[in-house]
Amino acid sequence: MVIFCFRDFGENLGTRPLGQKVREQLVPLLEKEERVVLDFTGVNVVSNSFADECIAKLLLTMPLAELKAHTTFRGLNLVASKSVLTALQRRHLSLA
């Protein structure tokens, strides 16, 4: 298991370009690790755009069940949690 710390990229994660940058660093870990902890401890804001670009776009390369099997979230505050959940739901529905 490996811990991927989103706080390393800032306290406020709000743009698609940043989301793409973070996703590009996350994907290799997902490909080689059995389990990745997505640690948002210390992150105040996660915008819908960042959540879609970084997390939800993972669904373009792996099914939701596989993403769930290989990741777990930690340290999400209520607002950030809603952004991530909304992005995943929208992306999942658009692929269905």
Share of the chain above pLDDT 70, in %: 100
Q: State the residue range of the domain holding 63.
A: 2-95
One digit per residue, the tens of pLDDT, for the chain of length 96 reads 999 999 999 999 999 999 999 999 999 999 998 999 999 999 999 999 999 999 999 999 999 999 999 999 999 999 999 999 999 999 999 987
pLDDT of residue 85: 95
pLDDT of residue 68: 93
pLDDT of residue 28: 96
Structural domains of the chain, count: 1
Q: How far apart are the first and last CA of the chain?
A: 30
What is the pTM assigned to this prediction? Answer: 0.93
What element of type H or E holds 83?
Answer: helix 78-95
pLDDT of residue 54: 98
Other residues' Cβ atoms within 10 Å of the Cβ of residue 31: 11
- What is the rounded distance in angstroms from the CA atom of residue 49 to the CA atom of residue 31? 24
pLDDT of residue 96: 74
Q: Residue length, the chain?
A: 96
